[in-house]
Amino acid sequence: MGEAPQEPGIDAPGDVAYAWAPAPAPRRRRRLGLWLGTPAAVVLVGVIAASLILIAPGTAVAGVAVGGMTPGAAAAAIQSHLDKTTIRLTGAGVEATLTGADLGARVDAKALADSAFRQHPMWNLAAWFAGRLQAPVALDEARATAALRRAAPGLYQDATDAGVRFDAGSGMYAASPAADGTKIDLGTVTTALQDAFAGGAPVSVDAVKVPASPAVSTATAESTAASLNTLLGTIGFYVGEERAVPVDRKVAASWLTVTPADGKLVVTADTAAIQRVVDTLAVKVDRKPRTGVEVTDTAGKLLGTATEPLDGRTLGDTSGAAAAFAAQLAAGDGKYQVPVTLAKATTTTVSRSAIVDLSDQRAYFYEDGKLWRSYLVSTGAVGHDTPTGYFRVFAKVRIQDMGCFPGAEYCTRNVPWVTYFAPDVGFHGTYWHRNFGHVMSHGCVNMPIDVAKYIYDWAPYGMEVTVRR
């Protein structure tokens, strides 16, 4: 067996000595490469991050280079470039330079910048130097017109809008015609500015004069006048279909104002003026019910209606009526329904008849068998006797000639208020004598004209007339 090792300093058998060798010093690692690589890595990360938010080099929108910009910075650059873009307005004695800012030029700069970034991001090397995007230019019409008018006032003449006016003499609205003006063609100016913006250099453009159309056309005014005249023909305060309180055309026109707005003619109404009429409605709307009267003969057969029944009514609450009517008028509706409470009318019947007494030359008129009126009359003279018997009213003539035909023994013109009850015999007015109470006629029953008119209205068709001696 081998010998066991001994501790140092102790002699081993056979005088052999052992000792531990010192450990070698560890080798130090070189870290210079790590320290040199860290800045490069930071730069690389920054480049990568930037490539994710920047537009690729060589990208342009119209004449604006936007490569290396963020979309936000690109949008500002696009609009700033457009504001500074210039055109030279020439021709017709005009010489002026105008900028995009002067003309209120605009593009959708944000959308264009965003589109440039989407199509040409920096991280996509294939999108570098890939061309330019088009940028449609638009002008603010009011601002551009003001700038062009200052630059070339002689080329501008305002158009005349059509309108309507109320003629008090005729009580009608009439249209006044429109007339064209002149202006510089904005389309030509826009095209020139577009070219200057895209090319990055000023562009000259001739000032082209074109017609300026009025905002309100003649056709619009004529249509508005026609609508207003229709409104004036029906305007009023209504109860159902009845125009209970008509409004005079001149008064109605004084309520209305017609003004142009956005190419139209707008109608408004004066609520305060309407209210003054609303305040008077009660005395014009309120009424008591009227009893209707139906006329029969003595046997009870209906002959007609002497008086139509008419419901009574009382005006209701009209608070807010003026404002509501004003709104209706503005919409073209002139029929305002007023609130009312109705009282239903009733109807009664009465029988009517007449007796002509030849012996005392008097006509008697009866209602329900009771004497209602009697009048002295003149019946047929000898040889022209008024026929006796039982008759009924069958015809009425407002005015006519009697006789007046070839061979007639008399001719009386314009005999009024004739109520026929027998062949060629009736009650009528008489202007050629006043000898009532004596026979005078050619067979008819002569009456004073006012009495004849009253009987003409009072006697219904079919009324019984008895002639006796």
Model confidence at 289, pLDDT cuts 50, 70, 90, reads very high
Specify the fold of 235-345. Ubiquitin-like (UB roll) (3.10.20)
**Residue 461 scores a pLDDT above 80:** yes
Query: 């100016």: which residue's tokens?
Result: 189
pLDDT, one tens digit per residue, over 309-331 is 999 999 999 999 999 999 999 99
> What are the structural domain ranges in the chain?
41-161+184-214, 235-345, 351-468
**Residue 30 scores a pLDDT above 70:** no
Of all residues in the chain, the percent with pLDDT exceeding 90 is 74
**Residue 26 scores a pLDDT above 80:** no
**Residue 237 scores a pLDDT above 50:** yes
The two tokens of residue 5 are 């090792």
235 closest CA partner among 318, 311, 173: 173
- What letter represents residue 170's amino acid? S
Beta bridge pairs of residue 364 = 355, 374
Model confidence at 456, pLDDT cuts 50, 70, 90, reads very high
| pLDDT average, residue stretch 262-278 | 97
Q: How far apart are CA 368 and CA 298, in angstroms?
A: 7
Query: 């504001």: which residue's tokens?
Result: 83
User: Which H/E stretch holds residue 258?
Assistant: strand 256-261
Task: Say which range, 221-225, 270-274, 325-329, 405-409, has the weakest mean pLDDT.
Answer: 405-409
Instruction: State the DSSP string of 354-408.
Output: EEEETTTTEEEEEETTEEEEEEE-B-B-TTSPPPPEEEE--EEEEEEEEE-STT-
Q: Which CA distances in Å does 431 have to 224, 254, 435, 453?
A: 55, 50, 11, 13
DSSP symbol at 127 = G
Instruction: Output the CA angle 425-428-430, nearest 5 degrees.
Output: 125
The predicted model scores a pTM of 0.63
- Do the Cβ atoms of 361 and 436 come closer than 8 Å? yes
Based on its alpha-carbon atoms, the radius of gyration of the chain, rounded to whole angstroms, reads: 55
417 closest CA partner among 387, 365, 456, 388: 456
Query: 């005999």: which residue's tokens?
Result: 415
Model confidence at 28, pLDDT cuts 50, 70, 90, reads low
Q: Where are the beta strands (DSSP E) in 111-255?
A: 131-133, 138-139, 163-167, 172-176, 181-184, 203-206, 209-212, 236-239, 242-246
338 closest CA partner among 361, 313, 355: 313
Pairing verdict, β 370-376 and 172-176: unpaired
Specify the fold of 351-468. L,D-transpeptidase catalytic domain-like (2.40.440)
| pLDDT average, residue stretch 34-45 | 45
Q: How far apart are CA 352 and CA 459, in angstroms?
A: 7
User: Helices in 159-217 by DSSP H: which ranges?
Assistant: 186-199
Beta bridge pairs of residue 441 = 380
Task: Say which range, 19-23, 207-211, 231-235, has the weakest mean pLDDT.
Answer: 19-23
246 closest CA partner among 109, 347, 338: 338
Beta bridge pairs of residue 145 = none
Model confidence at 44, pLDDT cuts 50, 70, 90, reads very low
Model confidence at 92, pLDDT cuts 50, 70, 90, reads confident
Pairing verdict, β 264-269 and 138-139: unpaired
